[in-house]
A = this chain, B = another copy of it.
């Protein structure tokens, strides 16, 4: 899959240059000059990285940046002037990196690559290991002692969330929100219970005395191994 980059800059020249260079470097490029459109595009197309000019007309780059960070999309901020306080604003606002215009294209490319490598990381970030449990986030699979366990999509989502909070309990409410996108659902807790039970049948040697998938009374569940 090609890496998608979204360029947000009101200067058409910059857009064109960046697009040319980035496409040449093998990236898939989208671009816009408007802040509000940028947010919509980011939400719709889920780019791997946004290059954002801080001096946008309309919805300012400084306002836009935290919104993008919330979507967990890394941002490189461009500023028109090489002023220290703009650098600082850019970093404070949650940007992954900062480049000031006029910029060296090779430097920009290197910084892009660094961020891409880090975020979609060299498979280290893709595997979560908890004792003899291994969750492969990329393939969406669970292994126990190297043996693949066949999970339904719902079951996998639960495991993934619990694995991301390894050894620490996750509340049933959080599970409901993250797995079913349900903030309030009368039957919700039932659903959690049932699926936990189904999961244990698959991953526990003795489902009645679970070793991995434990309950915290009155709170929720946790994935552990000790």
Taking Cβ atoms with an 8 Å cutoff, the residues of A that contact B are 84, 87-88, 91-92, 97, 104, 106-107, 110-111, 114, 138-140, 152-153, 167-169, 216-219, 222
- Other-chain contact of A140, B107, B152, B219 (Cβ < 8 Å): B219
Q: How far is the CB of A198 from chain B (nearest CB, A)?
A: 14
In the bound complex, residues from chain B placing their C-beta under 8 Å from that of A110 are 88, 91-92
CA–CA, A219 to B156, complex, Å?
A: 11
If over half of A's interface residues share one DSSP class (helix, strand or loop), that class is named, otherwise mixed; here it is mixed
CA–CA, A38 to B220, complex, Å?
A: 47
Check B87 against A138 for contact (C-beta < 8 Å): no
Q: Can you list 12 residue pairs at the A/B interface with Cβ under 8 Å?
A: A84-B104, A88-B107, A91-B107, A91-B110, A97-B97, A139-B167, A139-B169, A139-B222, A152-B217, A152-B218, A153-B217, A153-B219
Check B219 against A168 for contact (C-beta < 8 Å): no
Q: How far is the CB of A76 from chain B (nearest CB, A)?
A: 13
